[in-house]
Chain A
Amino acid sequence: MTHQMTFRGTTVAAEPGQSVAAALIAAGVTDWRTTGKGGRPRGLFCGIGICFDCLITVDGIPDQRACLVAAADGMRLGADAEPGAALQDACGPGDDDA
């Protein structure tokens, strides 16, 4: 059975087993967040959880990697929170000399 998710007021279908990113791309959506400085659109880039370009809010939980999260029926995608708010910025100055 096909899953139905919502994104920006529209319904996005997903095959069971697809990731959130795959379902969005299959639905013709190529970007789902904007960058902090330049306000540039971003979507999938590395596809394997490395680059963090694909961050998305899933059911109210911010900063999920759309390429890793499995699509599920009734999922609410995208929203309110600023990307990056909940993640530890693991790379302050000085970390590089460890």
Chain B
Amino acid sequence: MHDVAVVGAGPAGLAAAVEAAEAGLGVTLIDTAAQPGGQYWRHYDQTHARPDDHVGHHGWSVFTRLRARLDALRATGRIHYLPGQQVWLITREPNGPFTLQVTAATAAATAGRSQDGSDRTLAAHALILCPGGYDRQLPVPGWDLPGVLTAGGAQALLKGHRTPAGRRAVVAGTGPFLLPVATGLARAGVTVVAVVEANATLGWFRSPAGAASAPGKSAEALRYAALMARHRIPYRTRTVIREVLGTNRAEAVRVARVDRDGRPTGPDEEIAVDLVALGWGFTPSLELPLMLGAQTTMDTDGSLVVAVDDRQRSSVDGLYVAGEATGVGGAALAVHEGRLGALALAAERGRPADPALMRRLRGAVRRGRRFASAMHRTYPLPRAWPDWLTDTTLVCRCEEVAYGDLRRAHHDLGAEDARTLKMLARPGMGWCQGRVCGLATAGIAAWLSGRETGVDDLRPLATRSLAVPVPLGELAALVEETTPPEAADEGGRNGD
């Protein structure tokens, strides 16, 4: 039994695990990736590192210091680190410890693991969930063509695998993250024909609230502006991709100027590309906290996030949440939250935790959140985005549910809300369990019924009975083993 299980070894989870262990708690740290760092500090396989791997990687020294502490704590047995493993179910007996079910992220990883199953089930008195998030996506005609990637995916391929995903790219959507993606691709030799930004300007570093709460960020914005200029990448604001063209892969995009709500105001223009990187900001991974019944709220960017207090405590006793899962706000904020949550837990479990440090971290988190809100307000999703869709545009890529299917479920079958839409037309019911189309489906449900997207639209698309699809054998083993009755029920129902 561990004092605390930390899920996720990104900026939040790494900081939390190290801080908790140094405060004297016994920590187990579980992460899907083969090496620590999460999305922000994703890097090439360390055993084959090259000196130029980290050019332009901001905050890299923060990471290497955290990693050195992780290594030291592993050596003394304070942290039990399980890379390449994903948590797919968490349950809890009333007032008892948390039970985590863990499986290898890839079958290849299973081959090297002990076969006695000892790592399959873990127990911990407390949990710090730092599962991060993923790219937020809006469907657009042709977005299912190969050659269309998420912006984060294009970035991950570059940072983690030194592989540019194409030769001629357009980076589109909204938000400041489009800039590092574009400049990163350009540095790797890709011709970036444009950054296509749906909103108006780089206004966030002019916004007094934003700039004052994060002075370093204005410098960062200027740095990216300079890089964009150096690589001669046009930055086209108030512009969106209306369609990705191509037969069996992306060959071109049609872009158009739009008004504030995303309605086209100018003629379409066609641009030849073989890589389309799409990003509308990020949205949190909520399956683990939702599994445990943690209360959620809607963030300023319209994403469902876990509600936490000023010590990163969720509504569930013993469950702390830090990083993107409590609201998208970037790596620096994630680190502050991870540390704060770990110290708060240490204090609660009778370990020394410096109150002055906790106060400072609370202040940093407050400022970080303020800045994140300013960013979210600068880069909203265009209100009228469902207007871009045609009846044949796929919304759910897994189950191949098109916008027309959703419209018919609404008009002919009377589906008013996201939950009914999901039952009738099956968006969000494929392998990804609605991670990719969840926000879009919720937005379409609201749009078709003429209201704003609300928590009730988002929640049915964010709740998953298992955090990841697992091989049937694992479920069977779980049902056979001594497991909490609710978990066995889940397994039985899904096995139907």
Instruction: List chain A residues, Cβ under 8 A from B290.
Output: 98
Interface residues on B, range: 35 or more
Instruction: List chain B residues, Cβ under 8 A from A5.
Output: none
Would B162 and A90 count as touching, CB distance under 8 A?
no
Would A41 and B249 count as touching, CB distance under 8 A?
yes
Q: In the assembled complex, how far is the CB of residue A67 from the closest CB belonging to chain B, in whole angstroms? A: 8
Q: How far is the CA of A15 from the CA of B162 in the complex (A)?
A: 10
Q: Is B472 an interface residue (CB 8 A)?
A: yes
Query: Given A41-B249, A48-B156, A96-B419, is A87 in contact with B471 using a C-beta cutoff of 8 Å?
Result: yes
Would A50 and B249 count as touching, CB distance under 8 A?
no
Would A17 and B45 count as touching, CB distance under 8 A?
yes
Chain A facing B: main interface SS: loop
Chain B facing A: main interface SS: loop
Q: How many residues of A contact B (CB 8 A)?
A: 54
Q: Is B338 an interface residue (CB 8 A)?
A: no
Instruction: List chain B residues, Cβ under 8 A from A43.
Output: 146-147
Nearest CB in chain A to that of B486: its residue: A98
Q: How far is the CA of A70 from the CA of B83 in the complex (A)?
A: 14
Instruction: List chain A residues, Cβ under 8 A from B429.
Output: 91-93
Would B150 and A46 count as touching, CB distance under 8 A?
yes
Query: Given A30-B147, A48-B134, A91-B433, is A38 in contact with B400 using a C-beta cutoff of 8 Å?
Result: yes
Q: How far is the CA of A40 from the CA of B134 in the complex (A)?
A: 24
Q: Beta-carbon contacts of B468-495 to A below 8 Å, as 1s and 0s?
A: 1111100100000000000000000111
Q: Beta-carbon contacts of B450-466 to A below 8 Å, as 1s and 0s?
A: 00000000001101111
Would A22 and B472 count as touching, CB distance under 8 A?
no
Q: Is A11 an interface residue (CB 8 A)?
A: no
Please tell me which one of the listed residues A30, A44, A46, A88 contacts residue B135 in the complex, with CB atoms under 8 A apart.
A46
Q: Is A79 an interface residue (CB 8 A)?
A: no
Q: Is B97 an interface residue (CB 8 A)?
A: no
A-B contact count (CB 8 A): 178
Instruction: List chain B residues, Cβ under 8 A from A38.
Output: 400
Of B146, B147, B162, most A-chain CB atoms within 10 Å = B146
Instruction: List chain A residues, Cβ under 8 A from B466.
Output: 88, 90
Instruction: List chain A residues, Cβ under 8 A from B153.
Output: 44-48, 67
A residues 38-95 near B (Cβ < 8 Å) are 38, 40-53, 55, 58, 61, 64-65, 67-70, 72, 84, 86-95
Nearest CB in chain B to that of A95: its residue: B465
Q: In the assembled complex, how far is the CB of residue A65 from the closest CB belonging to chain B, in whole angstroms? A: 7
Instruction: List chain B residues, Cβ under 8 A from A17.
Output: 44-45, 47-48, 161
Q: How far is the CA of A96 from the CA of B399 in the complex (A)?
A: 16
Q: How far is the CA of A51 from the CA of B422 in the complex (A)?
A: 18
Q: Is B39 an interface residue (CB 8 A)?
A: yes
Q: How far is the CA of A47 from the CA of B432 in the complex (A)?
A: 13
Query: Given A47-B150, A50-B134, is A95 in contact with B464 using a C-beta cutoff of 8 Å?
Result: yes
Instruction: List chain B residues, Cβ under 8 A from A15.
Output: 48, 162
Nearest CB in chain B to that of A87: its residue: B469
Please tell me which one of the listed residues B39, B163, B469 contacts residue A88 in the complex, with CB atoms under 8 A apart.
B469
Q: In the assembled complex, how far is the CB of residue B33 from the closest CB belonging to chain A, in whole angstroms? A: 8
Q: How far is the CA of A96 from the CA of B291 in the complex (A)?
A: 11
B residues 33-61 near A (Cβ < 8 Å) are 34, 39, 44-45, 47-48
Q: Is B25 an interface residue (CB 8 A)?
A: no
Nearest CB in chain A to that of B436: its residue: A51
Interface stretch, picked from B105-113, B212-220, B223-231, B370-378, is B105-113
Q: How far is the CA of A6 from the CA of B27 in the complex (A)?
A: 41
Would A25 and B469 count as touching, CB distance under 8 A?
no
Instruction: List chain B residues, Cβ under 8 A from A93.
Output: 423, 429
Q: In the assembled complex, how far is the CB of residue B406 from the closest CB belonging to chain A, in whole angstroms? A: 15
Nearest CB in chain A to that of B42: its residue: A48
Query: Given A51-B432, A97-B460, is A25 in contact with B165 using a C-beta cutoff of 8 Å?
Result: yes
Would B248 and A31 count as touching, CB distance under 8 A?
yes
Interface pairs (15), CB distance under 8 Å:
A18-B162, A25-B157, A30-B147, A31-B248, A42-B144, A46-B150, A47-B150, A47-B156, A48-B152, A51-B432, A88-B470, A88-B471, A88-B494, A89-B494, A90-B465
The 10 closest A-B pairs by CB, nearest first: A47-B153, A17-B45, A22-B161, A52-B431, A17-B48, A31-B146, A22-B163, A30-B146, A47-B156, A87-B469
